Amino acid sequence: MNRIKLVTALLIFVSSVSSAVFAQNSDVKSNLVSLFDLSKSKSYEKAAALIAYEGEDKTRIQKEAFNSSNKDELTQVKRICKKISALIELSSKYDFGAPSVKKDGEKEIHSIEVSFVSGDQKLVTEFSFIKTEKGFLLSNMN
């Protein structure tokens, strides 16, 4: 009887952990799709909320999104969005790979590879996200 309870508890635990991981992967992909749409439509102010801050303020780096009302920060957002738009515009299609999670010290980096295809050429770009209090933010693209 105790074994049945143990197995049941273990199955519930594994199920809840896999559900949480699936939900996080879904959030990351959803944010990336939104970022693609916002980049194509040049909605830089809205895109700023999905990109992790990089700049002089050490307390904000990789902890919160860019501030769209700050001209300098919005300029950085535009640069990132224009890179994304260029990848999309030069491709006839793009495909999302499976999301992955890597540890970088204490941080978890959630990544998705996207294959941008144009004719027989394929360019694979990895989009990396970090989890913050406000959700997943794009932290890097390679």
Q: Which CATH number belongs to the domain containing residue 105 in this structure?
A: 3.10.450
Q: How distant, in Å, are the alpha carbons of 25, 27, 38, 72, 102 from that of 18?
A: 10, 14, 30, 40, 16
Comparing C-alpha atoms, which of 35, 32, 74 is closest to residue 53? 74
- Which single residue is written with the structure tokens 């002089």? 56
- Total number of domains constituting the chain: 1
Print the domain residue range for 91: 2-141
Q: How high is the mean pLDDT in each 10-residue block of the chain (142 residues)?
A: 53 41 66 96 97 95 95 97 96 94 89 95 96 93 94
pTM (global) more than 0.75: yes
pLDDT at 115: 97
Strand partners, 110: 101, 129
